[in-house]
Chain A
Amino acid sequence: MALHRLSFRLRQTVTHVRTLHTTKCRQQQESLAAESEPEPFSIFRTRENDPAIQSEKNIGQYYTLPSAHIRTVFPHGLPWRYQQQMKTFSEACMMVRQPALEVMSYLKKTDYSKPVMRYVLYGGRGSGKTLSLCHTVHYCYTQGWLVLHLPDAFRWVKNCKELLPSSFNTSRFDQPLQATEWLRNFKITNEPFLSKIKTKQRYVWTKREFTEEGSLLGQLVDQGISRVKSSSDVVGAVMKELKLQSGQPESNFRLAVAVDGVNALWGRSTIKKEDKSTVDPDELTLVHNMRKLMKNDWTGGAIITTVAQNGSLYMSKSAYLPQELLGEKGFDYMDPFIPVSVANYSEKEFESCYLYYMDRQWLQHPQCRTEEGKKELVFLSNRNPKVMERICSSL
């Protein structure tokens, strides 16, 4: 707890500085304050809110996501429990962790004229894969990339309320609701790009509706949102356009494809046709298009994914390695990729998480403030982020 006491001492010096009024003394105090400025005002927070500047020494520290960014970047991206935490604490703080930093460092060093690199974040349940992905997505956004974020690929292969036979290819099925939802969120995230990118092809939707070549991407997206029936095909068209155009010398954007739960695309689905036979993910338009995007035959961007057991179908609980979760087909498709392992909190990170909760007055029990209480938390959660959050949460 020496770290915590240190933060208190620093806080006290800062307040002393503010209360003195005499001018001479004030100058002296201000210089003193300036000297103490470079140190973070608490051990577990960092002032560097831009993911690009964050580095190894920020590992374990929380940085605040600006609320404007959250509204645009993550209309649907953050996990539900994290959103509730954001609402309770009235701020969005994310921990800087090793896996995210690793991926970001690779992104900084890649040569974007070569075919895209695929990164797969894997780890045990609740170890922080989704939030690491969100961190990377935030980085890409702050760097001005075009972000194609699919927060939960499993939503496309289960609990589908409406299934239409595709107009484009009769053997496939459309999912209008999921497609419109995704398009809407895509629009919110990438507003500035929609008025800059132009389509390279002509798309015919029905006898009377078509999109001319050279029209704005924004128009295409609006077409999909308004005409629900053809929304899945619009999604396919958007993905195709972006894939074609990224990496071209005339386009000035980089494409980041972020998919959470990429093993859904090659797993099984629980959607049933009218004759009660299961639909293979191959037969879904959205999945089909997404798979095409996953292939590394385009340039000028990056593909960052996670493999999750959590929402997966027909997978054993102990499976967490990419090979097990992707299956044979998926692995062959995704190979080669860079696996990034996401582990439970280290001691420093756990300490930081504990201090953050204490700072937010989240841990109310008097036992929590003692050393004993902290040891109990360590034992009960085994330093797993999700379990720690659940233990500390309200009943």
Chain B
Amino acid sequence: MAACSVRTVGALLWKCKNNGSTVNIVTSQLSRKVPSRHICMSSALHRKNLAAAGPQKFTAEFIDKQVEEFNIGKRHLANMMGEDPENFTQEDIDRSIAYLFPSGLFQKKAHPIMKHPDEIFPKQRAVQWAADGRPFHFLFYTGKHSYYSLMHETYAKILNLEKRQDRLRAKGLLTQEVKKISLGASRWLTKEELETLLVETMTAHNYNRFIQLMERLLSMPHCSVEQEFVSRYRRQVEAQSRKQMVPQLEQDDRGVAFSTAEGRRKTSVSSVILRDCGSGRVTVNGGDYMQHFSVLQDREQLMFPLQFVGMLGRFDLECTVSGGGRSSQAGALRLAISRALLCFLPEGDMETMRQAGLLTPDPRLTERKKPGQEGARKKFTWKKR
């Protein structure tokens, strides 16, 4: 319905002989629910344009309306839940929606959400030309004006720094020791992040050129002047290991230090008590370790954390494990041992363990069987006819 109405409007406009470039289609005449489409209309391209239109585009008015509706809805929701409409935060909204619409779906993204329209609708470009058709930005006709303006800006800064250097050299105040720019533990924005920042697509080549230019800026002396500009395009890299919880180091009656930790893998649950000043004895569920893990592979899995930190003969392990199969039990125990080891280690080793993958719980679970298929992925026999 939208297509044919748009088509008629497009035909009308074409007859009125407008500018021929892309035209704002007035949305209010059309149905309120359906968003408008910026489509270049010529009768020959009618059939193809539906696919070539790209993602849906929303007008600023539409977004404003959505924001209004969101705010009103927020107040209604607060009233429904018996809370104060003035101080109703996003967390409260999430809690209420989860309560009112409980969903048992596996995919978390498929659960119902209520968020501010800015988070739901992707950011889009405002109109870039005036009513007379003249574009606002001088680089509009490059097609990626924000990207090229950014490049120009950065290059202008580089030239400024060079001029500054020349001036200092002329005055004789050029010093060799330069204040280094302090970047801290940060990284450049990724291509995706830069695209969202500029609200513009760019190719990998463009992105690489941008990074090259920024590196060149950083290599110049006195670039600490441009600190603020550079830090806009860098993100802090937090050492992941800071989020890791280290289990408590306890002491038992005889003064021997020990620590407890748990681990999971698939459907196995395990817990381990690691005692210091031991001889490398291992007990599993109170019984013989060799009998429980008769396969060499499982024992190697258990050995890995201790071997990695080089403390093989030092600890006594008391393990309990249940559920799952032999491989998942071994994996669960391995995670538990790595966690229990954390409190015995010096500072830097936690990061190396994390990078080795010892502290990451394996999130893989059995995939659901789908209807119309034999299993999760396997299909029924394909018959040609």
Contacts and interface: CB of A to CB of B under 8 A. Distances in A.
A380 B290 CA distance: 9
Contacts, number: 41
B307 A124 contact: no
B303 A382 contact: no
B291 interface: yes
Interface in A371-395: 372, 375-376, 378-380, 382, 384, 387, 391
Contact of B303 (A124, A376, A384, A387): A376
A391 B296 contact: yes
B303 A380 contact: yes
B313 A378 contact: yes
A233 B97 CA distance: 87
Contacts of B122: none
Interface stretch (B5-13, B136-144, B150-158, B281-289): B281-289
Contacts of B313: 375, 378-379
Given A379-B312, A380-B300, A382-B282, A372 B307 contact: yes
Nearest to A382: B290
Contact of A124 (B288, B296, B299, B300): B288
Contacts of A375: 280, 307, 312-313
A378 B289 CA distance: 13
Contacts of B102: none
B310 interface: yes
Contact of A318 (B280, B287, B307): B287
Say whether chain A's binding surface is mostly helix, strand, loop, or mixed.
helix
Contacts of A391: 296
A379 B313 CA distance: 8
B289 A382 contact: yes
B280 A378 contact: yes
A380 B291 CA distance: 12
A379 B310 contact: no
A317 interface: yes
B189 interface: no
Contact of B312 (A125, A372, A387): A372
B36 to A, nearest CB: 69
Contacts of B40: none
Nearest to A390: B296
B306 interface: yes
Interface residues of B, number: 17
Nearest to B303: A379
A53 B278 CA distance: 37
A391 to B, nearest CB: 7
B244 to A, nearest CB: 25
Contacts of B300: 380
A379 B296 CA distance: 11
Q: Which of B287, B289, B290, B291 neighbours the largest number of chain A CB atoms within 10 Å of its CB?
A: B290
A4 B385 CA distance: 75
A376 B290 contact: no
A203 to B, nearest CB: 48
Given A372-B310, A372-B312, A379 B287 contact: no
Interface string A345-382: 00000000000000000000000000010011011101
B291 A318 contact: yes
Nearest to B292: A318
Contacts of A380: 296, 299-300, 303
Nearest to B310: A372
Given A382-B282, A391-B296, A376 B307 contact: yes
A384 B307 contact: no
Contacts of B310: 372
Contacts of B306: 379
Interface of A: 124-125, 317-318, 372, 375-376, 378-380, 382, 384, 387, 391
Interface of B: 280, 282, 287-291, 296, 299-300, 302-303, 306-307, 310, 312-313
27 contacts: A124-B288, A124-B290, A124-B291, A125-B291, A317-B291, A318-B287, A318-B288, A372-B310, A372-B312, A375-B280, A375-B307, A375-B313, A376-B307, A376-B312, A378-B280, A378-B312, A379-B299, A379-B302, A379-B303, A379-B312, A379-B313, A380-B296, A380-B299, A380-B303, A382-B290, A384-B290, A391-B296
Given A376-B312, A380-B296, A380-B303, 17 more contacts: A125-B290, A125-B291, A317-B291, A318-B287, A318-B288, A318-B291, A372-B312, A375-B280, A375-B313, A376-B303, A376-B307, A378-B280, A378-B313, A379-B307, A379-B312, A380-B299, A391-B296
